[in-house]
Chain A
Amino acid sequence: MKSKFLLLASTAVLLLLWKLVSLYMGSEIILPSPEAAFSSLVELSSGDHFLDSLLFTIKRGLIGFVLSASAALVIGIAAGENRIVFNLLKPMLTVIKTVPVLSIVLLAIIWFDTENVPIFVCFLVVFPVISANVIEGIKNVDPHLIEMARIYRVGKRRILFQIYFPSLIPYLLAGLSTASGVTWKAVIAAEVISMPRYAIGTGMQFSQIQLNTAELFAWTIVAIIISSISETFVMGLQYLLPWRRKL
């Protein structure tokens, strides 16, 4: 209850600050007022291609995220278990992490068609986040449980599914949570530059070209909402784990 009140209070303070600064600026092009941004959002959402843009962006984000998370899970487990795989992966992760996202986007435009650029960029941006968490999770599997299982001669498959995977879950959820935020930033940034036909990023680009700052803000609000929903969803997954629930 208290945290909900604080959330509302901080949102109200943010909106108030926004309003005050926009009044001080006195120009809708430089900084539109909150009400201008929200009325633009209402107008935008009743427009022809809003739903298409929204759904296509979500589709690209989900494809990139799921592909990347799956690859990161498999490769992360292998790297956490095997020193050679870890040493092979480490420089690749460092390169992916340090290359500017814009370089990846520009290269991806050369390599792929515009529809797939955001998916590729999302894949590359999400991969190091999740794989690092998976590797960490594997390294933190309780060696006492593994020792117990080996003494009881439990099969490798059962050890993998009943010790390694459940031990990984908290680390995987933390990785997925961080990655879900990064996903939308990467996808939309890639869309702004690659400009697929239907995309939030493309909408942002057009708003900017037309100096329609209120609409740019409206698209930004849409992006924030998608990001918050996906992060809340991922965080909520942990409550599905029965051993974490209270009796």
Chain B
Amino acid sequence: MSIKLQNISVNFGDLQILKNIDMGFNEGEISVVLGPSGCGKTTILNLLTSMNEAQEGVLSGIGERKISYLFQEPRLLPWLTVEGNLKFVLDEVGTADERDELCSRFLKMTDLSDYKNWYPGKLSGGMKQRVAIARAFAHSSDVILMDEPFQGLDLKLKLTLIDQFISLWKEERRTVILVTHDIHEAVKLADRIYVLSEKPAGVVDSFTIEEKREERSPGSPLSLKYESRLYKSLV
């Protein structure tokens, strides 16, 4: 069942944040919500985690589903090792060996096996975010919400992390909702894109990208085509 926002409006006191939002996030796809900074993108994720409530409209398909969340900052527990941080979000089901195996699998997929006993304080910013990505996948969730998790990383690191994320996602096929203001990131990752206006945010454009992600490398004609469309919608 896909996640749907129908005619959603959110106000914080007198300030209207979201206005008549209609969006649908398909199962097993990466949906991107693109919008200018401070337009209320995070509020959409907060609605899905029940941290904010909508004054109007219907939200369906999220219910009691398990959620993983990638924040702007990694939010790792400094007193737990890399492996400990993954185990922190694991359900207490199965044997200890099974949980160890699950962690090892995701640490391997994110090239973190050698660092499993390290504490976050010793890791670089990019490595910390990689641990957060491994944690998001290690958690047995159906939906992964991402709030600009690649922001503040240098370009090369950002592209590496995005590639790593995509390869993990291809194996796991979770439903992903990413909010970002970065059009390159949006084009590289999205199956479907929603473009939001300034506050009060409404959807100004939405479209699907059918082409394979391998063809959407930065600077490629395909990427430029979509980026130019997004640029026009945003400005």
Instruction: Please give the residue numbers on chain A whose beta carbons come within 8 Å of chain B beta carbons, in ascending order.
Output: 144-145, 147-149, 151-155, 158, 162-163, 166, 241-243, 247
A-side binding surface: helix, strand, loop or mixed? helix
B118 to chain A: which residues have CB within 8 Å? 247
Q: A145-B75, A145-B77, A166-B79 are known contacts. Are A151 and B49 too (CB-CB below 8 A)?
A: yes
Q: A144-B75, A241-B79 are known contacts. Are A162 and B88 too (CB-CB below 8 A)?
A: yes
Contacting chain A: which of B65-73, B148-156, B159-167?
B65-73
Q: State which size class the interface on B falls in.
A: 20 to 34
Are A243 and B69 in contact (CB-based, < 8 A)?
Answer: no
* 10 A-B pairs with C-beta separation under 8 A: A149-B88, A149-B89, A152-B68, A152-B69, A152-B89, A152-B139, A155-B92, A158-B88, A243-B121, A247-B122
Are B77 and A163 in contact (CB-based, < 8 A)?
Answer: yes
Give the complex CA separation of A155 and B89 in angstroms.
Answer: 9
Q: B78 an interface residue at 8 Å Cβ cutoff?
A: yes
| Chain A residue nearest in CB terms to B135 | A152
B67 to chain A: which residues have CB within 8 Å? 151-152
Q: B80 an interface residue at 8 Å Cβ cutoff?
A: yes
Are A148 and B66 in contact (CB-based, < 8 A)?
Answer: no
Are A243 and B71 in contact (CB-based, < 8 A)?
Answer: no
Q: B119 an interface residue at 8 Å Cβ cutoff?
A: yes
B-side binding surface: helix, strand, loop or mixed? loop
Are B69 and A148 in contact (CB-based, < 8 A)?
Answer: yes
Q: How far is the CB of A132 from chain B (nearest CB, A)?
A: 23
Q: How far is the CB of A74 from chain B (nearest CB, A)?
A: 21
Are A148 and B78 in contact (CB-based, < 8 A)?
Answer: no
Give the complex CA separation of A149 and B88 in angstroms.
Answer: 8
Are B119 and A151 in contact (CB-based, < 8 A)?
Answer: no
Are B75 and A162 in contact (CB-based, < 8 A)?
Answer: no
Are A162 and B68 in contact (CB-based, < 8 A)?
Answer: no
A148 to chain B: which residues have CB within 8 Å? 69, 71, 75
Are A166 and B77 in contact (CB-based, < 8 A)?
Answer: yes
A144 to chain B: which residues have CB within 8 Å? 71, 73, 75
A145 to chain B: which residues have CB within 8 Å? 75, 77
Give the complex CA separation of A243 and B78 in angstroms.
Answer: 7
Q: How far is the CB of B179 from chain A (nearest CB, A)?
A: 15
Are A153 and B66 in contact (CB-based, < 8 A)?
Answer: yes
B79 to chain A: which residues have CB within 8 Å? 162, 166, 241, 243
| Chain A residue nearest in CB terms to B89 | A152
A166 to chain B: which residues have CB within 8 Å? 77, 79
Give the complex CA separation of A162 and B67 in angstroms.
Answer: 20
Give the complex CA separation of A162 and B73 in angstroms.
Answer: 19
Task: Determine which residue in B66, B69, B73, B77 has the highest number of CB atoms from chain A within 10 A of its CB, and name it.
Answer: B77
